[in-house]
Each structure stands twice: as C-alpha cells, then as structure tokens.
Copies of this chain bind each other. A is one copy, B any other.
C-alpha cells in the first residue's frame, strides 16, 4: 500500500467553491483500479492550505494508471483553476514497527 500526499495551496477566498468542486472530483477516484481510499484535510493554521491523502494499492496505480487516464484530465478541469500553485505530490510507505 502506498500513501500519496498532495499539498494544495488554493487561491484566497476560494475555499467554499474549491470544496464543492472537490466533492465532484473525488467521484472520479472511486472507479480507478488500485484506488483504496482518500481524505481531504483542511489546515487549521493556513486557511488556503489543504492536504489530500490518497491510499493506492501500489505506486504505479497513481503514477502510471491515474496519471495517464481520462479521469485525470477531468480532475484537472474541475480543480486546477483553484490552485494558487502546482500541487506538491509525495508518496510514502508505512513503516512497520513493533508497538
């Protein structure tokens, strides 16, 4: 399992419209091969900052399949006008440690 984090700085004053657009955009994720779950998180310190967390089965489900899909084109259509800067994307794997 791989965690994608997308750091999203949106344009000032656009929070409500961005969240409405995201409610539509997130439906694109549900049908994707390798998609497991997602959460949109809103910063308590910075009103225009969101963190999108997406769990994928494997890295390639995001970097190959989603990034070359028609769903990504539609995703961008819905969301890119709200971005103050390009999203910063990073991928992680959980560290398995004894509790």
Contacts and interface: CB of A to CB of B under 8 A. Distances in A.
Contact of A23 (B19, B42, B94, B98): B98
B41 A93 contact: yes
Interface residues of A, number: 30
B91 A45 contact: yes
A15 to B, nearest CB: 9
Interface of A: 2-3, 5, 19, 22-23, 26-27, 30, 39-46, 49-51, 59, 90-95, 97-99
Q: How many copies does the complex hold?
A: 2
A27 B59 CA distance: 30
Contacts of A42: 92-95
Contacts of A5: 51
